[in-house]
Structure 1
Amino acid sequence: MTIDLHDFDGEHSLTLNTDGSAADDAVVAAGHEPNGYFWEGLVQFAWPDIAEDLDFDSEAGMFCAAGSPSGLARLKKALGAVITSPEAVRDIIARAEASGFAFDD
């Protein structure tokens, strides 16, 4: 699973193909689908300061966010550490559910 930054005619976006994350089993074990909508919710819960400056256009097979290059670079760094860590994903899911956050996956 790779996180890619794109620049198309001055429009900046970040995409994440949702197949094959090291954290997928942890997501499924928590009762969620590791799809683009799940990752969008995770970003909105875990990093609201980053998410507030982004526009999301996720799909089942892909997470997608658009925004400034600096905001997307911050998101890439944060998300990159989580998609490789089942423990980090489990922790975020547990905190989200304890707070009443509902994932839309």
Structure 2
Amino acid sequence: MTLHLHDFDGEYSLTFDAGGLAADAAIAATGHEPNGYFWEGLVRFAWPDLAERLDFDSEAGMFCAVGVLSDLTRLKTAVESVISNPEEVRDIIARAGTSGFDFDD
């Protein structure tokens, strides 16, 4: 699973393909769909200060965040730490559920 930072003439994005990830089974077990929209919701919940500075263009099969390089670099590090860790993803989902957060996946 690879997260990609893209530079399109000074406009930056962070993308990764949804599906086939180590955390997918844990996500599905909680009743969520492990798609790009889910991951967008996870970012909005887990890192709200960072998410508010980003624009999102996720799709079912892909997560996409657009913003300044420094924010996307921070996001890449944060997401890499949880994307292959089903236990961490379950913990974030549980905290989101307790707070009433809607993943909109």
Task: Name the TM-score, length of structure 1 as normaliser.
Answer: 0.98
Query: What are the Cα deviations for residues 9-46 of structure 1, in whole angstroms up to 9, with x where unaligned?
Result: 11100001002111001000000000000000000000
1:71 corresponding residue in structure 2: 71
Give runs of aligned pairs for residues 17-36 of structure 1, distance below 5 A.
17-36=17-36
Q: Does 1:92 align with 2:92?
A: yes
Task: Name the amino acid aligned to 1:102.
Answer: D
2:43 corresponding residue in structure 1: 43
Task: Name the amino acid aligned to 1:95.
Answer: R
For 1:34, what is the secondary structure of its paired residue? Answer: coil
Query: Partners in 2 of 1:51 and 1:78 — Cα distance?
Result: 12
2:53 corresponding residue in structure 1: 53
Query: Partners in 1 of 2:19 and 2:92 — Cα distance?
Result: 20
Q: Percent identity?
A: 71
> Could you list the runs of 4 or more consecutive aligned residues of structure 1 that deviate by over 4 angstroms after TM superposition?
none
In the TM superposition, residue 49 of structure 1 has moved relative to its aligned partner by: 1.1
Query: Partners in 2 of 1:72 and 1:89 — Cα distance?
Result: 20
Task: Name the amino acid aligned to 2:78.
Answer: A
Task: Name the amino acid aligned to 1:91.
Answer: D
Structure 2 stretches of 5 or more lacking a match?
Answer: none
For 1:39, what is the secondary structure of its paired residue? Answer: helix
Task: Name the amino acid aligned to 2:26.
Answer: A
For 1:101, what is the secondary structure of its paired residue? Answer: coil
Q: What is the CA RMSD across the aligned residues, in angstroms?
A: 0.6
Query: Partners in 1 of 2:2 and 2:83 — Cα distance?
Result: 9
1:8 corresponding residue in structure 2: 8
For 1:60, what is the secondary structure of its paired residue? Answer: coil
For 1:65, what is the secondary structure of its paired residue? Answer: strand
